[in-house]
């Protein structure tokens, strides 16, 4: 096949998947694949070559390949967690545009990358129901959308699985977690979630996938998992868009400080 013909065919396919005028969802340059340009795609793909902790999903560094100190004695109630990529660079910037600038259309390409993780990690097999982490009502009023819910809906649509957006509810208000130690965070989150009355029935014995935007200390995911399990869920696995680095909590730098503050 001639090069030109091949190029034409590829372009045709691209135009079909991503109509003209829509460049890379992040930077606007010409489309390469899945809604991104070649540069952005390459930056996103770095995550595929990284090793991650089999329990908390944080990215392992060459100093931490022997094991993940973050998980020792953590007592996480979820069976395991994973993130698509590390909270820095394009993973951080996409999340900012999505969550704080309010570019809700990013839920689709971001959800697609989360889907790739679900489809390639066999531990997610048999997932029956998706549950997004709810926002506190006051946050929802400010932001007007729950970033985790939109991501869960993209996943649910692609996997043909139900999304129980109302299953988990915020209970009492919690303090900002930024300055708290891990133990204080867990105590602060005690009672932060509850399962909506009448919803327990839909969770009984089910394998759930809890969806959130970032994994920071893991306290939020662990507390939500605890509540879901005590309402009868069979298993709770976790998937987030971004995650931290093993040992990252002691790391200097804007991104890790910011990640701490997000939790």
Which of 236, 244, 259, 205 has the alpha carbon at shortest distance from 133? 236
DSSP bridge pairs for 36? 33
Q: How many chain residues bind Zn ion (CB under 5 A)?
A: 12
Query: Smallest gap, in angstroms, from Cβ of residue 44 to Zn ion?
Result: 9
| CB within 8 Å of 60: residues ≥ 6 apart | 50, 51, 52, 53, 68, 246
**Per CB under 5 A, 86 contacts Zn ion:** no
**Phi-psi map region of 20: left, alpha, beta (phi>0 left; psi -120 to 50 alpha):** beta
Q: Are 6 and 16 in contact (CB under 8 A)?
A: no
Q: Near Zn ion by CB under 5 A, which window of 11-19, 68-76, 190-198, 221-229? A: 68-76
Q: Return the number of the residue (29 or 139) whose C-beta is nearest Zn ion.
A: 29
Residue with token string 């910011």? 258
Question: Contact between 40 and Zn ion (CB under 5 A)?
Answer: yes
Q: Residue 68 Cβ, how far from Zn ion at the closest point, in Å?
A: 3
Question: Nearer to Zn ion by C-beta: 231 or 237?
Answer: 237
**Mutual angle of helices 182-189 and 219-230, in 10-degree steps:** 40
For Zn ion, the closer CB: 18 or 202: 18
Per-residue binding string, Zn ion, 220-259, x by CB under 5 A, is: ----------------------------------------
**Window of 44-52, 64-72, 107-115, 234-242 that interacts with Zn ion by CB under 5 A:** 64-72
Distance in angstroms (rounded) separating the CA atoms of residues 173 and 261: 17
Smallest gap from Cβ 135 to Zn ion, in A, equals: 26
Q: Under a CB-based contact definition with an 8 Å cutoff, are residues 47 and 242 in contact?
A: no
Q: Which is nearer to Zn ion, 94 or 195 (CB)?
A: 94
Give the whole-angstrom CA distance, residue 153 versus residue 159: 10
Interacting residue with Zn ion among 37, 210, 236, 239 (CB under 5 A): 37
Contact between 53 and Zn ion (CB under 5 A)? yes
Give the nearest distance from C-beta 65 to Zn ion in angstroms: 12
Residue 98, both tokens: 């999505």
Q: With binding defined as CB under 5 A, does residue 44 bind Zn ion?
A: no
Lookup: tokens for 22: 């829509």
**Candidate residues 44, 47, 59, 68; the one interacting with Zn ion per rule CB under 5 A:** 68
- The site for Zn ion (CB under 5 A) is made up of 24, 26-27, 29, 37, 40, 53, 55-56, 68, 70-71
């Amino acid at each position: 096949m001639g090069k030109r013909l091949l190029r034409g065919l590829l372009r045709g396919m691209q135009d079909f998947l991503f109509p003209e005028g829509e460049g890379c969802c992040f930077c606007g340059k010409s489309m390469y694949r899945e809604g991104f340009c070649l540069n952005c795609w390459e930056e996103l793909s770095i995550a595929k070559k990284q090793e991650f902790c089999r329990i908390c999903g944080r990215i392992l560094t060459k100093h931490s390949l022997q094991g993940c100190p973050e998980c020792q004695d953590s007592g996480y109630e979820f069976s395991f967690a994973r993130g698509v990529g590390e909270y820095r660079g394009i993973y951080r910037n996409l999340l900012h545009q999505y969550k704080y600038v309010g570019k809700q259309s990013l839920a689709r390409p971001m959800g697609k990358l989360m889907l790739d993780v679900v489809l390639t990690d066999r531990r997610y097999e048999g997932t029956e129901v998706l549950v997004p982490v709810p926002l506190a009502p006051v946050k929802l009023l400010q932001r007007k959308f729950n970033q985790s819910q939109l991501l869960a809906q993209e996943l649910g649509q692609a996997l043909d699985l139900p999304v129980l957006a109302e299953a988990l509810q915020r209970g009492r208000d919690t303090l900002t977690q930024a300055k708290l130690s891990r133990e204080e965070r867990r105590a602060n989150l005690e009672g932060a979630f509850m399962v909506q009355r009448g919803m327990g029935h839909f969770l009984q014995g089910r394998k759930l996938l809890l969806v959130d935007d970032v994994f920071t200390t893991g306290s939020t995911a662990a507390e939500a998992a605890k509540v879901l399990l005590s309402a009868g869920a069979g298993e709770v696995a976790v998937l987030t868009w971004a995650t931290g680095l093993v040992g990252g909590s002691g790391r200097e730098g804007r991104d890790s400080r910011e990640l701490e503050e997000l939790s």
